[in-house]
Amino acid sequence: MSSIIQLLPEAIANQIAAGEVVQRPSSALKELLENAVDAGATHIKVIIKEAGKSLIQVIDNGSGMNETDARMSLERHATSKIRKAEDLFALTTMGFRGEAIASMAAVSQFEIKTKMAEQELGTSIEVAGSEIIAQQPVSCAKGTSISVRNLFYNIPARRNFLKSNGVETRHLVDEFQRIALANPQIEFEFYQNDLETYNLANGKLSQRIVGLFGKNYKEQLATCSEETDSINIKGYIGKPEFAKKSRGEQFFFVNNRFIKSPYLHHAILHAYQGLLQQDTHPFYVLFIEMDPARIDVNVHPTKTEIKFDDERTVYGVVLAAIRQALSTHNFGTAIDFDSNVNFAQLQPMDIGQSGAKNTDYTQFRNIEKDPNLKNWESLYTSQIEQSKLNFTTDQPNTVTIESALNNKDENIKSSEGLKFQLHNQYIFSQIKSGVLLIDQEAAHERILFEKYQSLLQGAQGQTQQLLFPITVELNPADHALVLDMQKELAALGFAFEPFGQTALVINGAPVAIAAGQEKTAFEGLIDQFKLNKSSLTISTKENLSRSLAKRSCIKAGQVLQQEEINAMIDELFGCEVPNFAPDGRSTYFVLDLNRIKDFF
């Protein structure tokens, strides 16, 4: 009987290794940039074409390689940094596994040109699918130039799994930003389709942050520094008021290596507790320096996940560093963004405590001049009295509609009674069975969501042309994202065109967006889209509908005229699913007459 176990051919083994190391164009760029940094380069140039699918080229002025080393770099597990197993726990360089170059050469048309300073001629090697096509001397500058063309050309199935150019470009920019942040002492150039995206001079970390993310970051940076016997932390954090809905601009580096750590991210959020608005995330770029022997970086092929020998200590030092930075810059006072300073929420109180028994009631009386609160003092009084009866949790003060999502109560639909706004947040309406209570923000979000969904299903949105076009500056990743969705955004009613390298000129906006809010709505749409994309598995069209509805809907605190109140009620119950906002929040409750009688 013949044997059935055989060794894989070298080309296939390299393709399998490439599946771990080179997952997409950004993976190849990361490995090439790390090798350039390790080579001691002071200037690195990146050239990208078609989101890295047709070309990824990295040119550096580092130490370069001789002919033998250039040839050896194409072999699997060939490395200049590991000599014994103990070296894995004393690493201070980036690339060390010895798989990246061989893996890229296995799934692309690969070319390397390299020369050391003392050599007259360099070496050029061309490879296609692990097979060396040509090797010859070449005249070139000191350093190394590597070109990766037609990535996955010989594995069509892998190439078909790549995302759109906009998505892949954002991943490329993300990897570039991480390497550039970690090495502000190196000059970087970044070109996409022959257009310059970044030209970063060497300098301080703060200058690199501004160069990558924009001039507006000058106002929000706060220094952070903490030194202990075993751990040093330095970097910058963002001021609380500049926190964003999305989590993109948050960077941890351990010994100059970018890592992802939900555990340490929690430490930062804990330090910011009480200073951030709900569902917002602060900016930070933090560098942790510690003994390489106390971490293991070889736990994941992409080396973005590491293990600490004592995670709790690192957590504690990060927490202390952030708190110290916030205190030093006078951001330490806790702010309750959810509280209403004008009127306390209706809630049962302990009437027996004389020190607090009249606080909320007096606060109510002080604003009884508000026309929206007229005649509601008796309801608040009854709420206080009701607290004496010690209601249990199985007797709620409101009743949720028990119905299918698309069930529309005829009593609500035919409402003809009194309608008014309470606290510029809720709409009250008299109906046949009692009182209808609507959350104006959730209701309007539902209305807009279904309207935008309809537009994206084929109908063209109405565009309000702007008298004065608005210029919006974006970072390269967001710019690529917007251009990738230009057709869908046009369907919603946005009319814009590229301006310069990463800016857009908005010429028109959806008619539903209030005048003067076009730029805010557009930027908010992008942030909300990225936030949804990171936490929800939904289509691009649904994400756009949700994002624009959430960022352009009427907010709590906005005063409504009677006509607007009437229109909102009619439009809400004209929706297919009037009961809930897109994120699942209830849009309304019904307080029936029997429940109201129970109050008395």
302-322 average pLDDT score = 86
Total number of domains constituting the chain: 4
Say yes or no: 404 and 391 in one domain.
Answer: no
pLDDT band at 16, cuts 50/70/90?
A: low
pTM of the model: 0.65
Say yes or no: 228 and 134 in one domain.
Answer: no
Say yes or no: 178 and 255 in one domain.
Answer: no
The pLDDT score that the predictor gives to residue 406 is 46
Whether 521 is covered by a domain: the verdict is yes
The pLDDT score that the predictor gives to residue 302 is 61
Question: What residues contact 17, with CB distance under 8 A and at least 6 apart?
Answer: 76, 99, 102, 103, 106
Whether 333 is covered by a domain: the verdict is no
Whether 2 is covered by a domain: the verdict is no
Whether 22 is covered by a domain: the verdict is yes
Tell me the residue range of the domain where 246 lies.
211-328
Say yes or no: 106 and 85 in one domain.
Answer: yes
Q: Where are the beta strands (DSSP E) in 139-273?
A: 143-149, 187-192, 195-200, 221-227, 231-238, 250-254, 257-259
Strand 187-192 relative to strand 195-200: parallel, antiparallel, unpaired? antiparallel
Say yes or no: 469 and 538 in one domain.
Answer: yes
Dist CA 575 CA 563 (whole Å) = 19
Q: Which of 177, 246, 188 is nearest to 214 (CA)?
A: 177
Is residue 216 packed enough to be buried (19+ CB in 10 Å), middle (13-18) or exposed (0-12)?
exposed
Strand 588-592 relative to strand 434-439: parallel, antiparallel, unpaired? antiparallel
Dist CA 573 CA 551 (whole Å) = 22
- 531-585 pLDDT tens trace: 888 777 888 889 999 999 998 899 889 999 999 999 999 999 999 999 999 988 9
Say yes or no: 389 and 419 in one domain.
Answer: no
Say yes or no: 307 and 351 in one domain.
Answer: no
Say yes or no: 55 and 167 in one domain.
Answer: yes
Whether 4 is covered by a domain: the verdict is no
Please state which of the ranges 388-402, 403-417, 446-460 shows the lowest mean pLDDT. 388-402
Cα 196 from chain centroid (whole Å): 24
Count Cβ atoms below 10 Å from residue 392 Cβ, excluding itself.
Answer: 7
Whether 104 is covered by a domain: the verdict is yes
Q: Please determine, for residue 412, whether its predicted confidence score (pLDDT) is greater than 80.
A: no
Considering 395, 413, 441, which residue would you say is the last residue of a domain?
A: 395
Q: Please determine, for residue 430, whether its predicted confidence score (pLDDT) is greater than 80.
A: yes
Considering 395, 412, 442, which residue would you say is the last residue of a domain?
A: 395
Say yes or no: 86 and 230 in one domain.
Answer: no
CA atoms within 13 A on the CB side of 545: 21
Whether 1 is covered by a domain: the verdict is no
Residue 113's CATH number? 3.30.565.10
Count Cβ atoms below 10 Å from residue 5 Cβ, excluding itself.
Answer: 4
Dist CA 97 CA 171 (whole Å) = 22
Dist CA 80 CA 67 (whole Å) = 15
Dist CA 560 CA 427 (whole Å) = 9
The pLDDT score that the predictor gives to residue 19 is 59
484-498 average pLDDT score = 90
Is 55 in contact with 47 (CB distance < 8 Å)? yes
The pLDDT score that the predictor gives to residue 86 is 53
Provide the terminal-to-terminal Cα distance of the chain, rounded to the nearest Å.
92
Please give the helix or strand (H or E) that residue 452 lies within, else none.
helix 440-456
Is 323 in contact with 269 (CB distance < 8 Å)? no
- 356-371 pLDDT tens trace: 434 343 333 343 344 4
> In terms of pLDDT, which residue wins out, 294 or 55?
55
Residue 232's CATH number? 3.30.230.10
Say yes or no: 523 and 440 in one domain.
Answer: yes
Token pair in block for residue 593: 């007459």
Whether 106 is covered by a domain: the verdict is yes
Residue 562's CATH number? 3.30.1370.100
Which residue do the tokens 């974006």 mark? 474
Dist CA 63 CA 125 (whole Å) = 17
The pLDDT score that the predictor gives to residue 81 is 54
The pLDDT > 90 percentage for the chain reads 42
Is residue 397 packed enough to be buried (19+ CB in 10 Å), middle (13-18) or exposed (0-12)?
middle
Considering 328, 347, 362, which residue would you say is the last residue of a domain?
A: 328
Token pair in block for residue 418: 């009194």
> In terms of pLDDT, which residue wins out, 83 or 244?
244
> In terms of pLDDT, which residue wins out, 329 or 574?
574
Q: For residue 441, what are the CA distances in angstroms to 5, 140, 425, 437?
A: 65, 63, 7, 12
Please give the helix or strand (H or E) that residue 168 lies within, else none.
helix 165-182
3-state secondary structure of 237: strand
Say yes or no: 373 and 414 in one domain.
Answer: no
Strand 187-192 relative to strand 43-49: parallel, antiparallel, unpaired? parallel
Say yes or no: 322 and 365 in one domain.
Answer: no
Q: Please determine, for residue 491, whether its predicted confidence score (pLDDT) is greater than 50.
A: yes
Q: Please determine, for residue 396, whether its predicted confidence score (pLDDT) is greater than 70.
A: no
Please state which of the ranges 145-154, 156-165, 327-336 shows the lowest mean pLDDT. 327-336
Quote the Cα angle for 506-508-503, to 5°.
5
What DSSP designation does 348 have? -
Token pair in block for residue 337: 């963004």
